[in-house]
Structure 1
Amino acid sequence: MNIVLAILAFSVLIIAHELGHFTLAKLNGVKVEEFSLGMGPLAFSIQGKETKYSLRILPIGGYVKMLGDDKKSDDPRAFNNKHPLRKLSIVIAGPIMNIILAILLFSISSNQGYIIPTIGEVPSGMPAQISGVMQGDIITEFNGNKLGAWNDFLMGMSTNKGEPIQIKVRRNNEIINIPSIKPSYNKEQKRYIVGIVGTLKKPNVYEAIGYGFKETGFWIKTTGAFFKTLFTGKASMNDVGGPISVARLTSDAAKAGIYPLLSIAAYISIQLGIFNIIPFPALDGGYIFLYIYQAITRKEIDDNKIGIVNYIGFIFLMLLMVVVLLKDILHPLKL
């Protein structure tokens, strides 16, 4: 049952992405020939007025097939006859929909409550209590950086590797500097801790929406930083997960309840959106780069050359998917 929920959750992310392309194509007067969920052989389809809606057997993606997106057409509704900026709006709409969906999912998931950087508990004898941190303090800075959310504190602790930390807190409208807290290693949790417990907050509607934006912004920044370390060779393949890891992560979240599942789905939606804007052939980002170039220079690039580059990019992505899948099987991502 949890696997089914995982597949359904991933399908929603794909539908949202492709719906972005589909909607902007329609708004720009482009004829959409097929809207497909899944890849590979056809399971079944429904023919609409001008668009075929398909379900394919491999739940690993989807696509929107537009008139003129692979072969030139003289039809004024063909994609190839549209201005580069119109093409750009159609292509970028997919990743944007993934970000919008993440905001929505995080906002809904906040109904269970979320942790804010107001200190709810400082266990006696722990480094934070010894350093003068008190219940009710509001953490405003971590190692010189402004603290926007509890996740910023957690991320800072995870990357600090046991070194002393410096925080600033607001106490009775006064900013107090806590110059040095030396974390202690917790063998049971296998991580460094200082003994600071945040406060669970139950938001109203407006606070939930604000949380959705803030959480999405945090994970966009974190995901972007991860891809940067990955492409610069500073990250290991051990940190990369493929379809099996995604399914396992989502399935585990489903076991914990609907709100954890929504949070994980939002996180994956952000990763999907960010990955797709990477300026690489066959990805949305490759087309985004192309159409921006064409809009600025007003120069057309030979379609055959574009096709060859995209074909090579697609082969590379398929090979990468196979490598990640094999890594998933032989060396599963430790979640």
Structure 2
Amino acid sequence: MFSLQNVIQIVLMFFVLVTLHEWGHYYFAKRAGILVREFAIGFGPKLFSYKKGETRYTLRLLPIGGFVRMAGEDPEIVQVSPGQTVALQLDRSGVVSHLYLDQLDLRSNVVIGEVRQLDLERELHVSLDVDGEAIRYPVHPQALMVTKGRETQIAPLDRQFGSKTVGQRALAIFAGPVMNFLLAFVLFLIAMFMHGIPQQIKLDSVSAGSPAEQAGLKAGDIIKEINDVEIGADSGKIVTEIQKSADRSMRWIIERGGEQRQVQMTPMLKDGALIVGIRMDSINRKATFGEGVTGAWDSMVGTTKNIFLGFKMIVTGNFKLDDLGGPIRIVEVSNEFADLGLKYMIAFSGSLSLYLGIFNLLPIPALDGSRLVFLGYEAVRGRPVDPQRESMVHFIGFALLMLVMLAVTYNDILRLVKG
């Protein structure tokens, strides 16, 4: 069940992961002088929108990511051509501040004429034929074009994404995943301080009817040895010993109430794995700062290895469709970790942030990794790829990603229906 507290935690987790990723793109794009038109969380129809400075901030319907729209990345939607009749609004110094493209008769305090020449990227001027007289007007670098009630700020060449150096553009792209890596480390560090350093493994719960219950194990028991192997704080040893004990009895030494006891049990096979029916916890002490940093780094390294192992299984085809999960499955798993407690939810959020950063660096069209590949090719080649061709590659990649997303989401729904 999804409690209100869990829902709030899950929504907050996704909001922070996506927002920080996009903020990385946004911050370094702004530092490079690029005009950022929109900072969006989600895709699809807008739910909420407001504009501050040059950037419009939007919250969209589908919570499956976000984007930062920079000037020059895609062809500009608003176009003005010679021969078109427009209205110009001038500031006190005679510089164009607004270019109106429709409803010209309703505009007041404007100059109306037919466009003879127009340059909104380099020289920033517009020449109008006003009552048979050609008049040239300078255009402000932040002038607005207005049509159908929408304002679009012009983007001089030096404010466009493509005008910046390869290094500046690469940094603006790479900064998104980097923010996720930094967030993952911070979350792992917080989880380490909350969880502490394990000293001993104890039982959190024992499943009814399981071999562990039949052997007399109870929640709170401390596991000292299994088959003469000292356990200490390493829960992995318990798993290893269980998997080595198919069809044979295991000897456990546990501590309960300060006294040690010996029990015998034989694992049972369930869903292709040997289990004894226990859920483990640990007895911990507070971590020092150095131990916290070391533990957070170890968590980063271990989680990264597992992520790449999952990618390898997908590439080699060594997986089932049920192994893949979309947004619904991620929410389900998030709810499970939220049920375990805040420290587990924080650690899971760190893993998800790390996964988001790594996944975005894959050289898949529409992802940050693919855009970095194009920039690397440009650096070696000495000139950029045709922007229209690159945009087409990213568009096709995005469409394919959406198809995959729909497929795994459909599979998630089937799994829910089947229970």
Give the shorter-chain TM-score range. Answer: 0.7 to 0.9
User: Would the alpha carbon gap of residues 44 and 296 (structure 1) be closer, same or farther in structure 2, given more than 3 Å must change?
Assistant: same
| Counterpart-to-counterpart distance in 2, 1:203 and 1:77 | 48
Cα deviation for residue 24 of structure 1 reads: 1.4
**Which residues of 2 match residues 1-335 of structure 1 at below 5 A?**
1=4, 2-71=6-75, 74-114=156-196, 116=198, 129=225, 131-134=227-230, 153=236, 157=239, 162-163=243-244, 185-186=267-268, 191=274, 200-332=284-416
Structure 1 6/81 Cα, relative in aligned 2: closer, same or farther at 3 Å? same
Q: Give the RMSD, CA atoms, in angstroms.
A: 3.6
The unaligned stretches of length 5 or more in structure 1 are 140-149, 165-182
State how far apart, in whole Å, the 1-side matches of 2:202 and 2:75 are. Answer: 64
1-side partners of 2:44 and 2:227: how far apart? 60
**2:152 counterpart residue number:** none
- Report 1 or 2 for greater relative contact order, CA contacts < 8 Å, sequence distance ≥ 6: 1
Return 95-104 or 325-334, whichever deviates more: 325-334
Distance 1:121 1:317 in 2: 43
Paired letter, 2:324: V
Q: Which has the higher strand share?
A: 2
CA contact (8 A) 1:241 1:333 kept: no
Q: Distance in 1 between matches of 2:290 and 2:183?
A: 17
Q: Give 1:184 shift.
A: 6.1
CA distance in structure 2 between the partners assigned to 1:130 and 1:310 by the alignment: 54
The Cα shift of 1:41 comes to 1.1
Aligned partner of 1:14: which letter? Answer: V
Q: Secondary structure at the match of 1:331?
A: helix
Q: How many residues align?
A: 302
Bigger CA drift: 105-114 or 85-94?
Answer: 105-114
* TM-score, with structure 2 as normaliser: 0.63
For the 8 Å contact 2:195–2:284, the answer to whether it is kept is yes
Letter in 2 for 1:101: L
Structure 2, unmatched stretches of 5+, are: 77-120, 122-155, 204-211, 216-222, 246-264
The structural deviation recorded for 1:121 is: 7.5
Kindly state the Cα deviation for residue 192 of structure 1 after the two structures are TM-superposed.
5.0
Distance 1:333 1:301 in 2: 47
The separation in 2 between residues aligned to 1:10 and 1:44, in whole angstroms, is 17
Offset of 1:115 from its aligned partner?
A: 5.6
Q: Separation in 2 of the partners of 1:35 and 1:119? A: 47
Q: Which amino acid aligns with 1:67?
A: A
Higher helix share: 1
- Structure 2: which amino acid aligns with 1:10? F
Larger Rg computed on CA atoms: 2
CA distance in 2, matches of 1:76, 1:105: 38
- Indicate the percent of aligned positions where both proteins have the same amino acid: 31
Task: Confirm or deny: 8 A CA contact 1:114 1:202 kept in the other structure.
Answer: yes
Change in 2 beyond 3 A, CA 1:312/1:248: same
- CA distance 1:323–1:303, change in 2 (3 Å): same
Checking the alignment, whether the CA contact within 8 Å between 2:197 and 2:286 is kept in structure 1 is no
Equivalent pair of 2:200/2:284 in contact (CA under 8 Å) = no
Q: Deviations over 1:119-140 (max 9, x none)?
A: 668999xx9946543365x87x
